[in-house]
Amino acid sequence: MKKVELRYLSQEDILSLDIGWEDIIQRVEMALSEQAKGTIENPPKRGVHTRPDTFIHEMPVFLKGMDACGIKWVSGYPENYKHDLPQILGVQIMNSTETGVPLAVMDCRWITAVRTAAATAVTVKHCAKKDARSIAIIGAGVQGRMHLMAIKHVLPSLETCHIFDIKEKMLDDYAAQMPDKCHVNVNKFTTVSEAVDGVDIIVTCTQKLHEPIIPAGALKPGMLGAGLEAGRAWPADIIHGSDKVITDDLTQTSSYASTGAFAGGLPEFYCQLGDLVNGKPGRENDRETILAFNVGIAAEDISLGQYVYEKAVEQNVGIILPLMEMDF
């Protein structure tokens, strides 16, 4: 029997490939498109919960169109900053669709960070006003930073970011570092209400919340809102009063309603994000209020993971590890 080897890719190996937003967003669009067409096998996330408000999720998928297959095993621990560790981290495995053989084990932290922001950037492309100039970002962590970069990439008219975080140091670091990275003016705020006042786009990227933090009535005509905590950051009047509510995955998002993720219950969804990628109109006028709850789908991770794997093979990056040498 042939020996079997796999490629191990650390976060730093992946960073060394220098994959840019254009490619990241394209891989996410490919995944969303397949998902909306139904050409994927993508069972809903399952998980274990070792402490209150934590998760470790399994996320397997087969994308038939791009012939990519794999699984992500990702954890979310909001108190990890106390251990000097990120809230979100884990690994993903890429498998051969021909033989099932594992081809690579790779860090999933970078992939998760960028594909999540890329999904919001795709939402912005289809649902923000074309001349949107300002954004409020609530939560100045990994997603808060990635979102400003990805959204500026698809929305060059973006000039100003209002940032709010409950941790002063996160606010200060964000305001010090992001203007140079994104060429956007960053203004710090000490309350959510002030931060969201008068902007074109609001993104919440905090942690599992027990109460909404966005004030009632904050989503005014023409605005786009997006929440990474399913619906937990948003009040019932906005969830149920917006002209269009979209999600990247109807099944997965609906399953969160039973855990109280949407104030006032599950809203009626206009469509999935992939439908917009496939041609359904998003924003149709400058007065619509649109809200997006993208909960993250494995198709995005594995689509980007396949691209990472191909680049790593091309550039001979990573460590080759033996899985089996011979029959026993």
Backbone angles phi, psi at 164, to 5 degrees: -135, 140
CA separation, residue 291 to residues 202, 236, 245 (Å): 9, 12, 5
Choose which of 70, 139, 225, 235 interacts with ligand NAD (CB under 6 A). 139
Stretch that binds ligand NAD, among 17-25, 58-66, 166-174, 214-222 (CB under 6 A): 166-174
- Is 225 near ligand NAD (CB under 6 A)? no
Closest to ligand NAD by CB, 19 vs 292, is: 292
β-pairing verdict for 319-324 and 4-9:
antiparallel
Of 44, 8, 29, the C-alpha closest to 124 is 29
167 scored as a contact of ligand NAD (CB under 6 A): yes
DSSP-derived 3-state class of residue 200: coil
Binding residue for ligand NAD (CB under 6 A) from 150, 151, 170, 196? Answer: 170
Of 296, 301, 304, 305, the one binding ligand NAD (CB under 6 A) is: 296
Given 107, 229, 249, 275, the residue binding ligand NAD (CB under 6 A): 229
Q: Is 291 in the site for ligand NAD (CB under 6 A)?
A: no
Per-residue contact track with ligand NAD, 102 to 121, x per CB under 6 A? ----------x---x-----
Q: Which is nearer to ligand NAD, 60 or 296 (CB)?
A: 296
- The phi and psi torsions of 293 (rounded to 5 degrees) equal -120, 90
Task: Report if residue 212 touches ligand NAD, rule: CB under 6 A.
Answer: no
Could you give the 3-state DSSP secondary structure of residue 46?
strand
Secondary structure letter of residue 95 according to DSSP: E
Of residues 16, 87, 278, 289, which one binds ligand NAD by CB under 6 A? Answer: 87
Residues paired with residue 68 on neighbouring β-strands, in sequence order: 63
Q: Is 228 in the site for ligand NAD (CB under 6 A)?
A: yes
At CA 290, angle to CA 131 and CA 161, rounded to 5?
A: 50
Is residue 88 within the footprint of ligand NAD (CB under 6 A)?
A: yes
Question: If binding is defined by CB under 6 A, does position 158 make contact with ligand NAD?
Answer: no
Inter-residue contact 202 to 135 (CB < 8 Å): yes
Q: Is 166 in the site for ligand NAD (CB under 6 A)?
A: yes
Which lies closer to ligand NAD via its Cβ, residue 138 or residue 223? 138
Task: Examine residue 140 and tell whether it contacts ligand NAD (CB under 6 A).
Answer: yes
Q: Is 252 in the site for ligand NAD (CB under 6 A)?
A: no
Binding of residue 14 to ligand NAD (CB under 6 A): no
Which tokens in the block code for residue 237?
A: 């009047």
Q: How far is the CB of 205 from ligand NAD (least distance, A)?
A: 4
Q: Which is nearer to ligand NAD, 134 or 206 (CB)?
A: 206
For the CB of residue 24, give the shortest distance to ligand NAD in the complex, in Å.
14
Looking at the chain, the number of H-run helices and the number of E-run strands are 10, 16
Q: Where does residue 18 fall: left (phi above 0), alpha (psi -120 to 50 degrees), or beta otherwise?
A: left
By CB under 6 A, residue 142 contacts ligand NAD: yes
- In order, the DSSP letters of 269-309 are P-EEHHHHHTT-----STT--EEEE----HHHHHHHHHHHH
Contact call for residues 104 and 94 (beta carbons, < 8 A):
yes
Report d(CA 146, CA 117) in Å as an integer.
6
Residues forming a β-bridge with 246:
271, 292
> Is residue 35 near ligand NAD by the rule CB under 6 A?
no
Which residues contact ligand NAD by CB under 6 A?
76, 87-88, 112, 116, 138-144, 164-167, 170, 205-209, 213, 228-229, 294-296
